[in-house]
Structure 1
Amino acid sequence: MDDFSPSDLKTILHSKRANLYYLEYCRVMQKDGRVLYLTEAQKENLYFNIPIANTTVLLLGNGTSITQAAMRMLAQAGVLVGFCGGGGTPLYMACEVEWLTPQSEYRPTEYLQGWMQFWFEDEKRLAAAKYFQNARIQYLQTVWQKDRDLKQEGFQINTPEIEKALATFHTRTDAATQSSELLLTEAQLTKALYKYAANNTQLSHFSRQHQSQDKANNFLNHGNYLAYGLAASCLWVLGIPHGFAVMHGKTRRGALVFDVADLIKDALVLPWAFICAKENATEQEFRQQVLQAFTDHKALDFMFDTVKAIALQNHSAEAIEAQQL
């Protein structure tokens, strides 16, 4: 069958889709009712199929092009398409997350309407930000407690330094009265996790610098952008615009993407960036490891569940007061 209807291509829920692709030095096209990418070998051209119905995000890196027909089929399947630099980073100079999104508006409205119930009120928006922060810590604890590979690498949630950092985080988060305080608390926790991970992997001289060329920093950048891809896909499917952030400020149009991506970055991207740097892994090996971790720990499911819970919870003043008690 040459043509599929949009309903045929969207049978797999985005939260259950398995694939996130990064392509470079190839041409993406439609052929015989399928989306393929074409690479040039020495003696022949090679075609590879992209299973678009089971794909959430397609990142196009250096030396890529895409046809109009391919974009039409990707749009029908609800796949987000982004242009990026080599290795998956940066997305548009890292200043803003930009996606080519399908323009069909047959998406649920209940989540956006629920989001709007609280977003314009500072107190309710702060409560949602605290929900995000507590959810990310619960996810961190869950992942580090049950992931055998991380345990073998020395990442333990019940060590004195981690317990102390989390206790401080919870105390300051509960006491915060504005989002800037939450951001400061978040930064302090992440700094403590960097120190813990660096000591675990014998990278004692590590310093977090986004422009640095050492492997740990490069892998952190790369993994974070993969998390941004999942977050953008989650928000697009739920119909919530990226500008309605609860923590990262009102000056960056994609700020809600950063809020949602933060749910999984500390738990998955951070430890594997340091582990792969210690093992001198290639960028491709790191990418495969992180994507496998996303799948094993159902990172996209967790994003969907968290965002849905915030959008659909009771945002009345009485409910917020009860949550804070």
Structure 2
Amino acid sequence: ERALEFANIGAGEQVRLTDRVSYLYLEHAQIIQDKTGVIALQSDETGNTRGQIRVPIGSIAVVMLGPGTSLSHAAASSLAAAGTTLMFTGGGGINSYATARPLTGSARWAEAQARLWASSSHRVAAARQLYKARLGGMPLPVNARIATLRGLEGQMMRAEYKRLALKHGIKFRRETAAEDPVNVGLNLGNSILYGVAASVCSALSLNPALGVIHQGDARALFYDLADVYKQTITLPVAFLSAKEKDPQGFVRRKVRSVITQRRTLEDMLTMTMRILSPHLSDIDGDVLLDDIGTVAGHTNYGQPEV
């Protein structure tokens, strides 16, 4: 078994991240590469194949692998070549961690991220942009402290919990470890948004550990980006799921539908680039550090001139 030549999709031929389907969740399946592409095989208790799904890797942003899945080396190679983010998750897509190959060969955005992160004043300015997005673009108090913005966000979230609980006739308290449909739905919906954020970071070659508001966690930037969309996507869907026969299945389908309809991938990517753009360098491509400035890369400076 091997990854076929057609699976090595050039960057210029890949489907743009913003045009991709948000994610595909699989569990209890074997993901392999055959002569036509990547497929997911599902087997019954006796080991007999009961069905298969062809995975359109070039048009999916995230493939989430839940319990009972196995992935062949060739399939993993094809997923990487297609620029698809791969996430291994717990049951239902909750509690995930990701590994991804960047869709870009440039380090410009990663360097801009490092410049922003290294400056406390730049981070505060970026945090204001994120809080403004989280607060629905509402005018912020002039020179408001970050603590004030954090408090406003907290008040807004509590008010939204109360409003939705009253609307759906549900007694609710937010507890991440709780097993009621709404809390589980919130955890699942948030994990899906983290997957979207992982694809954005992968596309720009960003380090998810270098967050703006969050810090100290390897997924800090995922949290920063996903938090912008939780109130408008995850919350309403989670409360809607409470009366469904299959709440988790409903959340996965509905969140995916909303992400596609609202072009959340595109919006999150645009927002991230807007925050990082002021810190971009004019240098693009491989260069070497010199005593003053830089010199061209891919050059042997040990050879005498002829």
Q: TM-score, normalised to structure 1's length?
A: 0.78
Describe how 1:128-277 pairs up with structure 2 within 5 A. Answer: 128-138=126-136, 170-171=140-141, 174-178=142-146, 180-203=147-170, 205-248=171-214, 250-277=215-242
The alpha-carbon deviation at position 114 of structure 1 amounts to 2.5
* Identical aligned residues as a percent: 28
CA 1:130 to 1:199, structure 2 compared with 1: closer, same or farther past 3 Å?
same
Q: Encode CA deviations 1:148-181: one digit per residue, 9 max, x unaligned.
A: xxxxxxxxxxxxxxxxxx68xx34xx54434x55
- Partners of 2:202 and 2:239 in 1: how far apart? 31
Structure 1 runs of 4+ off > 6 angstroms? Answer: none
- Partners of 1:121 and 1:231 in 2: how far apart? 23
Q: Is the 8 A contact 1:107 1:237 kept in 2?
A: no
Q: Is the 8 A contact 1:14 1:237 kept in 2?
A: yes
The alpha-carbon deviation at position 215 of structure 1 amounts to 0.6
CA 1:2 to 1:122, structure 2 compared with 1: closer, same or farther past 3 Å?
closer
The alpha-carbon deviation at position 48 of structure 1 amounts to 1.4
Q: Is the 8 A contact 1:126 1:177 kept in 2?
A: no
* 2:58 aligns with one of 50, 53, 60: 53
- Gaps in structure 2 of 5+ consecutive residues: 281-306
- Gaps in structure 1 of 5+ consecutive residues: 92-97, 140-165, 316-325
Q: Encode CA deviations 1:238-272: one digit per residue, 9 max, x unaligned.
A: 11100111101x21121011000112111111111
Q: Encode CA deviations 1:157-212: one digit per residue, 9 max, x unaligned.
A: xxxxxxxxx68xx34xx54434x554443222211111111111111x20000011
Q: TM-score, normalised to structure 2's length?
A: 0.83
Q: Is the 8 A contact 1:245 1:255 kept in 2?
A: yes
Q: Encode CA deviations 1:202-241: one digit per residue, 9 max, x unaligned.
A: 11x2000001111111101100000000001101111110
- Partners of 2:13 and 2:229 in 1: how far apart? 25
Describe how 1:64-83 pairs up with structure 2 within 5 A. Answer: 64-83=69-88
Q: Encode CA deviations 1:111-133: one digit per residue, 9 max, x unaligned.
A: 22322333222122111011011
- Partners of 2:61 and 2:110 in 1: how far apart? 20
